[in-house]
Amino acid sequence: MMNASVNVNILNKEYQISCSKEEEESLLASAYMLHENMEKIKITGRVIGLDRIAVMAGLNLAHDLISLRNNKSYDLNKNISQIKDKVNAFLKEYRQLDPLV
């Protein structure tokens, strides 16, 4: 596993982070998500200071993660059901278009 040095930009500050090549895409996506979250907090003007904005963004992201973990099985079952419905609708439509099926 080779390490890469990746530059990420968060609120106009550049950070150089070392990670494996396999984790590079995930790191970039994580940095972008953090940047977007911090940008939203900064725009509100209710939180001042980069360190406070970073803490609030971290808390927001941690809350989202915990909520996803708690609702994981429900959401997964719901998503699977929606996918099944879409596949069944597609198959029904396909059978109507091609009577040989």
Amino acid 52 reads R
Q: The whole model's pTM is what?
A: 0.64
The Cβ of residue 37 has, within 10 Å, a number of other Cβ atoms equal to 20
CATH architecture of 3-70: 2-Layer Sandwich (3.30)
Give the H or E element holding residue 14: strand 13-20
Q: Residue 100 has what pLDDT? A: 57
Contact 37, 57 (CB under 8 A): yes
Q: Give residue 66's pLDDT.
A: 85
Residue 85 CB partners (closer than 8 Å, separation 6+): none
Chunked into runs of 10 residues, the chain (101 residues) has average pLDDT values of 86 92 90 92 90 92 84 68 77 64 50
Are the C-beta atoms of residues 7 and 14 closer than 8 Å to each other?
yes
The domain segmentation of the chain, as residue ranges, is 3-70, 72-101
pLDDT of residue 38: 92
Angle between helices 24-44 and 50-70 (to 10 degrees): 120
